[in-house]
Chains A and B, each alone.
Chain A
Amino acid sequence: MTLKRRPRLVKGKFWRTESAVAYLFMIPASVFLLVFMFYPIVYVILMSFFRVNKLGDLVSFFGWGNFRFMFDKPEFWQIILRSCLWTAIAVVVKTALGLVIALLLNVEFTGKKLARTLVIIPWASSVPISAMIWQWTYNSDFGLLNHTLRTLGIWKNPPIWLAEPRSAFMANLWVDIWCGIPFMALVFLAGLQAIPQELYEAAEVDGATSWNKFRYITLPLLSGVLTVATLLSTLWTFNDFNVIYVLTAGGPGTSTDILITYIYKYAFQYLRFGPAAAMAVITFGILLLVSIIYARSYFREGVL
């Protein structure tokens, strides 16, 4: 590694040694990722095609058996549907509310800095701990949410949130949304602040209304940020394990499970590693697809 004791460098040789150093420097990271990321992925793919015992050892080749086992379960399809619904609703609501908050925070007013800091807190907070706090907030007898809804007359008969499938799903969904709003608001705010002010001034001279300015300046110029942020949010939402596991652990029954929590349940509760691996492979496929789209749009915005 003592490359250049010599003050003069021969150019050709310099570039050759440079790439050697680069690979050397990448070794620790590569080895680490190979052992703890790529090997596990390969192993999961293997597992999905084998019968697997309760210790996670491969027993015998099973072909598509694990997949077929899951596909034959109506419950599995419900969970797929629920995962899609979960992701779609959450991302749309996060994006909409994030945009509204960003537009508000982009206005000059006293206390703006404080408001911005306070908006971040749900993101800054630890997700599992936030979910525990929400669990208490949702408590139907002693929790403050239902009490507040009743006292303010917003909802005379609020549900027992975590006890019934539908309301439990909504309760989980809301906590996921709540965790994700700050990031969306901050990204959009950063995007808004990057829009040159002159554009608005020029539009004002031409007599544009606020709506026109939003429609023809803000939205088009925000589209890059919108794409990247919604893709990220899609990945995070789809992957959200902590909220559901802490709040309801997928219950009652499996009525609030999404794919991610269902895999975990199959593996570590039922100890059925084979079907769990099959679902993990499916999830891997979905995530790979969306991540590649995300990476593409990230690079399209030109960072390197």
Chain B
Amino acid sequence: MKRRGLYVVYPLIIFILVILLFPFFVMVSTAFKPISEVYANPPHWIPRELYLKNFSDIWYKYPLGSYFKNSFIISIGTTLLNMVICIPAAYAVARLRFRAKSFLMYLFLVVQMFSPIIVVISLFKIIALLGLLDTLMSLVLTNSVFTLTFAIWLLSGYFRNIPKEIEEAALIDGCSRIQSIIRILLPVAMPGVVTTIIYTFISAWNEFMFALTFITSMDKRPLTLGLYNFIGRWTVQWQYLMAAAILALIPVVILFMFIERELVQGLAGGAVKG
């Protein structure tokens, strides 16, 4: 009976995967075509030959290096800022008793769902007031705000799962609270910290709307905005866009695979805890 089931499962899974992965197939196929073949009608599924020049062309025909650099600076800046803010907050939520706790956790969960669009109009004013328009700093700040609450949420979940007794012993042995966090809790909670770091990094890396709103100079564009600007002027050089997209996607897709389970668990809460 089991065996008969597989005759249904395999074709269905393959069918679904073909549909889900089709655009990535298009991306790879286009990235290895010369322009003459990109604009062939009817189009070819598979490139006639493996044309690698797109991957070298993009680096000097577009400021791709600076896009990558900006995305790195923004993502790393966001991650650092987030960690400084989130670790104490998550610690407080996970370990300490205080009156406003359940209210704050509730608030964080609700805030996490707000669309940045609601506030972008007034954030624009604030960023302008701070003199941060067209700076990478503006994106570090705004990306932090919108990853903050979920990061605290994720991290406090990890802290809560670590037995309190370890730190209490250290406190009694004369460690200060800060020392007990840095020397004892964080090393034990490392997987959770890494998950949170990856989550923040990816979110900042993929962010598009704030960049579109706050950044005007070419040399300050992050990858998402930079690639978006491949489209729209004159004819689109799709083979370049697709080659650049491959390079931009590889790091995030790989990083994402490390944290998808934790994300699912963090987002769906007790519902999926077996």
Contacts and interface: CB of A to CB of B under 8 A. Distances in A.
Interface of A: 1-5, 7, 15, 18-19, 21-26, 28-29, 32-33, 35-37, 39-41, 43-44, 47, 56, 97, 100-101, 104-105, 107-109, 115, 117-130, 132-137, 139, 141-145, 147-148, 151, 178, 181-183, 186-187, 190-191, 193-194, 224-225, 227-229, 232, 235, 238-239, 241-242, 245-246, 260, 263-264, 267-268, 273, 276-277, 280, 283-284, 287-288, 290-292, 294-295, 298-299, 301-304
B96 A135 contact: no
B240 to A, nearest CB: 11
B148 A32 contact: yes
Contacts of A235: 113
B43 A124 contact: no
A121 B248 CA distance: 14
Given A25-B91, A187-B272, A118 B206 contact: no
A292 B108 CA distance: 11
A214 B126 CA distance: 53
A101 B16 contact: yes
Contacts of A239: 113, 115, 117
A21 B257 CA distance: 36
A36 B84 CA distance: 17
Interface SS of A by simple majority? helix
Interface stretch (B23-31, B55-63, B183-191): B23-31
Interface SS of B by simple majority? helix
B105 A194 contact: no
Contacts of B45: 144, 147-148
Contacts, number: 331
A137 B70 CA distance: 28
A133 B26 contact: yes
A47 B120 CA distance: 13
B257 A120 contact: yes
A183 B257 CA distance: 13
Contacts of B43: 142-144, 147
A104 B268 contact: no
Given A121-B21, A190-B268, A242-B209, A277 B121 contact: yes
Contacts of B116: 241
Contact of B126 (A26, A40, A124, A298): A40
Contact of B249 (A21, A115, A129, A284): A129
B41 interface: yes
Given A22-B97, A128-B208, A191 B272 contact: yes
Contact of A37 (B145, B174, B267): B145
Contacts of A287: 113-115, 118
B178 interface: yes
A21 B96 CA distance: 8
Nearest to B238: A136
Interface of B: 2, 5-6, 9-10, 12-13, 16-17, 20-27, 29-30, 38-43, 45, 84-86, 88-89, 91-92, 96-102, 104-106, 109-126, 128, 141-142, 144-145, 148-149, 152, 157, 171-172, 174, 176-178, 205-206, 208-209, 212-213, 223-224, 227-228, 230-231, 236, 238, 241-242, 245, 248-249, 252-253, 256-257, 260-261, 264-265, 267-274
A100 B267 CA distance: 21
A228 B5 contact: no
Contact of A47 (B98, B121, B141): B121
Contact of A117 (B122, B174, B209, B257): B257
A22 B241 contact: no
Contacts of A3: 171, 176-177
B24 A133 contact: yes
B109 A36 contact: no
B20 A136 contact: no
A43 B104 CA distance: 22
A187 B266 CA distance: 11
B92 A26 contact: yes
B119 A37 contact: yes
Nearest to B20: A122
B249 to A, nearest CB: 5
A101 B12 CA distance: 9
Nearest to B142: A36
A37 B148 CA distance: 11
Given A18-B96, A101-B16, 7 more contacts: A19-B99, A23-B100, A36-B126, A39-B126, A132-B245, A144-B22, A267-B120
